Structure 1
Amino acid sequence: MQEEQNENPAFDDSQEENEIQEKVEDEVSNEALQLQISELKEQYMRAYADFENTKKRLIRDKDQALEYAYEKIAKDLLPSLDTLEIALKSIQDSKINAEESDSILSKIEEGIALTLDNLLKTLAKHGIEPISTDGGFDPNFHDAIMQVQSDAHESGEIVAVMQKGYKYKERVLRPSMVSIAK
């Protein structure tokens, strides 16, 4: 009977068809798996790229936050600078007006001048510097609070500084309050 099955061409064809069918199914299954692997690799690469970009952004943000960490305290110190400068100027004005050379007044003036100088040096050491008002008006660094008629200055040129401006590194903490020529 086995001889009949081996000799039966229909049985051989059926067995061959089954083997071919299994191979085709295996190939289709392999192709689907390869496609799925490819998609997963692509998703992984995108996620990894997003992670790297986020990591770089966080490092950049942290570095920038550290670089400008003193900005708030710098802004808070500016009124003290203003007060010292006003005190020094009023002492100088009273000496000129009264034409006195009183030693007490001179010592107070000297003390305020030294304190102001020391404070300015300390601030400069940490990147805080006055904004230059020499030359023309620059809206990035100056606020024009009034315009005055001046024969000695060209139009748009700074005539007087009402309040000094300061910058921390390249950022403006406070613009200079100036009057400009018409």
Structure 2
Amino acid sequence: MSEEKDLAQEQGECQEAQSESINFDALNGENTKILELEAQVNELTDKYYRANADFENLRKRVEKEKADIASYANEKFARDLLPVIDAMLMGANFKADDEFSAKLKEGIDLTLNEFKKCFEKHGISEIDTSGEFDPNVHNAVMRVDSDAHQSGQIVQVMQRGYTINGRVLRPAMVSIAN
């Protein structure tokens, strides 16, 4: 009888071991499924963050483009006004011989000052031509020999140049020393 008890006990232990292994297998399957779901969640989270970052970059780019458009909206109109300014500058350089021509010159100077104020208000400024030649803002139309200037310095300005909010509207036409 003791053998039967031992045999029954062994069978009971085997059944417990089998039920434990079944439970272990079930747990392994659930753990695998959990790991797969966690990987999927991580992948989707990564995609979400990337899409959100792309959207933010796009929003910033559109904001910058809008600011640029607003900043340079008057560029074509300002470029069309430059020949008018050039003509007025030539008119302001004449010598006033009588009272009428003095009044006319005074009127041209006042008009030029108003143009300059309006240009400043809209971010248009004259390019500096007192110094070294800069190919980014100057257009050299000729080279001249000059004892009074060093090589590469601007000798004469043929046409004034202008920028609008830092962008070249028209380069200054200059002659430079050899």
Please classify the TM superposition score into its range, dividing by the shorter chain length. Answer: 0.7 to 0.9
Q: CA RMSD in A?
A: 2.4
What pairs with 1:50-65 in structure 2 (closer than 5 Å)? 50-65=54-69
Equivalence for 2:31: 27
For the residues of structure 1 that align with 2:22 and 2:101, how far apart are their CA atoms? Answer: 113
Equivalence for 1:173: 169
**Alignment deviations for residues 15-70 of structure 1 (CA, whole Å, 9 cap, x no partner):** 54443332222221112111111111111122122222222222233223323333
Equivalence for 2:4: none
Amino acid at match of 1:173: L
For the residues of structure 2 that align with 1:156 and 1:13, how far apart are their CA atoms? Answer: 96
Equivalence for 1:37: 41
For the residues of structure 1 that align with 2:150 and 2:34, how far apart are their CA atoms? Answer: 82
Corresponding position: 1:118 with 2:125: no
CA contact (8 A) 2:138 2:174 kept: yes
Matched position secondary structure for 1:111: helix
Please list every run of at least 4 consecutive aligned residues from structure 1 whose deviation after the TM superposition is greater than 6 angstroms.
Answer: none
**Alignment deviations for residues 130-152 of structure 1 (CA, whole Å, 9 cap, x no partner):** 11211222222211101122233
Give the gaps of 5 or more residues in structure 1.
1-5
CA contact (8 A) 2:149 2:155 kept: yes
CA contact (8 A) 2:71 2:165 kept: no
For the residues of structure 2 that align with 1:130 and 1:166, how far apart are their CA atoms? Answer: 4
For the residues of structure 2 that align with 1:129 and 1:12, how far apart are their CA atoms? Answer: 92
CA contact (8 A) 2:127 2:162 kept: yes
Give the gaps of 5 or more residues in structure 2.
1-7
Matched position secondary structure for 2:131: coil
Amino acid at match of 2:159: Q
For the residues of structure 2 that align with 1:53 and 1:114, how far apart are their CA atoms? Answer: 48
For the residues of structure 1 that align with 2:133 and 2:29, how far apart are their CA atoms? Answer: 80
